[in-house]
Chain A
Amino acid sequence: MPRTILPIGPYHPLQEEPEFFILTLEGETVVDIDLRIGYNHRGIEKLAERQAYDQITFVVERICGICSTSHPFAYTQAVEDLLSIEAPPRAQYIRTIVAEGERMHSHLLWLGLAGHFLGYNTIWMWCWKLREEILDVMEILSGNRNNYAMFKVGGVWRDIREEDIPVVMKKIDSIIPTLEKLHKAVMDDPVIHARTKGIGVLSKEAAIDYCTVGPTARASGVARDIRKDCPYGVYDQLEWNMIVTHNGDVFDKVAIRIGEMFESIKIIRTCLSQLPGGDIECLVKNIPPGEGIGHIEAPRGECFHYVRSDGTNRPVRHKIRAPTFMNLPTFKETVVGGAIPDAAIVLAAIDPCYCCTERISVRDTKGQTVYSGEDLIKLSQKKTEQIKADMGR
Chain B
Amino acid sequence: MGILDHAFLKSLWVFHLATGSCNNCDIEILDCFTPRHDIERFGMQLTGSIKHADVLLVTGAVNRQCIPRLKRIYEQMPNPRLVVAIGECALSRGVFVHSYNCPLPLDHVIPVDVYIPGCPPRPEAIIAGLIKLIEQKKNPKDQPQA
Chain A interface (Cβ < 8 Å from any Cβ of B): 10-11, 13, 16-18, 38-44, 46-47, 50, 58-59, 62-66, 68, 109, 112, 124-125, 128-129, 132, 145-147, 353, 355, 361
CB of B21 within 8 Å of the partner chain: yes
Q: SS class of chain A's interface: helix, strand, loop or mixed?
A: loop
How many whole Å from B85's CB to the nearest CB in chain A? 17
Number of residues from B at the complex interface, CB < 8 A: 40
Contact across chains for B20 and A39 when beta carbons are under 8 A apart: yes
Q: How far, in angstroms, from A40 to B69 measured CA to CA in the complex?
A: 13
A-B contact count, CB below 8 Å? Answer: 117
- CB-CB under 8 A from B102, the residues of chain A are 42-43
Residue in A17, A47, A125, A145 whose beta carbon sits within 8 Å of that of B96 in the complex? A47
Residues facing A in B46-71 (CB within 8 A) are: 46-50, 60-61, 63, 65-66, 69
Q: How far, in angstroms, from A124 to B35 measured CA to CA in the complex?
A: 10
Contact across chains for B99 and A46 when beta carbons are under 8 A apart: yes
Contact across chains for B26 and A62 when beta carbons are under 8 A apart: no
Chain B interface (Cβ < 8 Å from any Cβ of A): 17-28, 30-31, 34-36, 46-50, 60-61, 63, 65-66, 69, 73, 94-96, 98-102, 119-120, 122
- CB-CB under 8 A from B36, the residues of chain A are 128-129, 132
Q: How far, in angstroms, from A260 to B40 measured CA to CA in the complex?
A: 32
Contact across chains for B96 and A355 when beta carbons are under 8 A apart: no
Using A13-B49, A43-B101 as known contacts, say yes or no to A62 and B95 having CB atoms under 8 A apart.
yes
- CB-CB under 8 A from B60, the residues of chain A are 40
Residue in A39, A62, A128 whose beta carbon sits within 8 Å of that of B66 in the complex? A39
> Could you list some 21 contacts between A and B, CB below 8 A?
A11-B17, A13-B46, A16-B18, A16-B30, A39-B65, A40-B21, A41-B20, A41-B63, A43-B101, A43-B102, A50-B98, A62-B22, A62-B95, A65-B22, A65-B24, A66-B23, A128-B34, A129-B35, A145-B122, A146-B24, A147-B119
Q: How far, in angstroms, from A353 to B21 measured CA to CA in the complex?
A: 11
How many whole Å from A141's CB to the nearest CB in chain B? 17
CB-CB nearest 5 A-B residue pairs: A65-B24, A13-B48, A128-B34, A65-B23, A43-B99
Residue in B35, B73, B100 whose beta carbon sits within 8 Å of that of A128 in the complex? B35
Q: SS class of chain B's interface: helix, strand, loop or mixed?
A: loop
Using A16-B18, A18-B18, A46-B100 as known contacts, say yes or no to A355 and B95 having CB atoms under 8 A apart.
no
Contact across chains for B26 and A17 when beta carbons are under 8 A apart: yes
Contact across chains for A355 and B34 when beta carbons are under 8 A apart: no
Contact across chains for B23 and A64 when beta carbons are under 8 A apart: yes
**In the complex, residue of chain B having the shortest beta-carbon distance to the beta carbon of A19:** B18
- CB-CB under 8 A from B19, the residues of chain A are 18, 39
Q: Taking each of B47, B66, B94, which has the highest tally of chain A beta carbons within 10 Å of its own beta carbon?
A: B66
- CB-CB under 8 A from B100, the residues of chain A are 43, 46
Contact across chains for B96 and A42 when beta carbons are under 8 A apart: yes
- CB-CB under 8 A from A50, the residues of chain B are 98
Q: How far, in angstroms, from A353 to B102 measured CA to CA in the complex?
A: 20
- CB-CB under 8 A from A128, the residues of chain B are 30-31, 34-36
- CB-CB under 8 A from A40, the residues of chain B are 18, 20-21, 60, 63
Contact across chains for A65 and B18 when beta carbons are under 8 A apart: no
